[in-house]
Structure 1
Amino acid sequence: MSERMIIDALPARNNILLGIVATNTGNAVVDAMIRGAFRACLEELDDAPKVEVQEWRRASDPPPTHNETWNDGNETYSGETSMKVWAHCADGTQHEAHYEIHDGTGQWFVEGQDDRFDEHGNVTHWMYYPAAPKD
């Protein structure tokens, strides 16, 4: 078969490992050939491209932050902030957002707005943006 498929390879990998351990035809040469074929399959699986599945994370487990300094034209600020992420709010809306920590307290912010999600309710979940295309 020449088709390529995206699958969860973990169950297949586990079955191949079981096959390596359980192979016992009574012929040492045949067993070695079968185990070699299984090992080659494992190498193919291990070297195959990985697909990162985007998934929602709880807002109570915010993204990592880093120290950042910015200027709004009038004043310079410094604080702990996260990279931009995609956030899901209690009212069902979704927005680009980031997480900030000030004086030990963390807050979610809608990009380009100062409303801290007041009009949308609390952030319930967030996810990273996918990586940019390679071509």
Structure 2
Amino acid sequence: MSERMIIDALPARNNILLGIVATNTGNAVVDAMIQGALRACLEELDDAPKVEVQEWRRASDPPPTHNETWHDGDEVYSGETSMKVWAYCADGTQHDAHYEIHDGNGQWFVEGKDDKFSEHGNVTHWMYYPAAPKD
């Protein structure tokens, strides 16, 4: 678990806000110093990078598609297709896949063992690939 995920899992932000409101040592200068430090912590927490955790989504809620035209030999096809995603199939296997819509009908296409895409009706869940590292 990353540092940011741990911070998000704790009620840290609420505790900092409560500390700012509830600081009352009886000394106005000390209170101001404590509240200033807590506000600095809050700003640092708010500026921390956000971590997106990928989650499995149901196959009945496919990824967004965009219009695309592609060539297969002499045939030209057009329709809507999604970006490549990671799919979980009913047989317990996981594969690269994408979702296509032709003539209003949607279909999952899963990369088969022969490295070609073949139709499978057994996709139960999918998730986006994580973002590539920046460095």
TM-score range, shorter chain: 0.7 to 0.9
Q: Is the 8 A contact 1:86 1:129 kept in 2?
A: yes
- Aligned pair in 2 of structure 1 residues 3, 9: CA closer, same or farther (>3 Å)? closer
Which consecutive segments of 4 or more residues in structure 1 shift more than 6 A?
A: 1-5, 112-120
Is the 1:70–1:77 contact (alpha carbons within 8 Å) kept by the matching residues of 2?
yes
Residues 25 and 31 of structure 1 are in contact (CA less than 8 Å); yes or no, is this contact kept in structure 2?
Answer: yes
- How large is the Cα RMSD of the aligned pairs? 3.7
Alpha carbons of 1:101 and 1:121: their partners in 2 closer, same or farther (altered >3 Å)? closer
Q: Give the CA deviation at 1:35.
A: 1.5
The alignment's TM-score, normalised by the length of structure 1, stands at: 0.81
Give the secondary-structure state (helix, strand or coil) at the position aligned to 1:118: strand
**Change in CA separation of 1:3 and 1:45 when aligned onto 2, cut-off 3 Å:** closer
Deviation track 1:34-54 (CA, whole Å, cap 9, x = no partner) reads 221111001111222222212
Structure 1 pair 3/119, CA: closer, same or farther in 2 (3 Å)?
closer
- The structure where strand makes up a greater share of residues is 2
Superposed CA offset, 1:29-73 (max 9, x none)? 222222211110011112222222122111122111111110012
Structure 2: segments with no counterpart, 5+ residues: none
Cα distance between partner residues in 1 of 2:133 and 2:107: 31
CA contact (8 A) 1:82 1:98 kept: yes
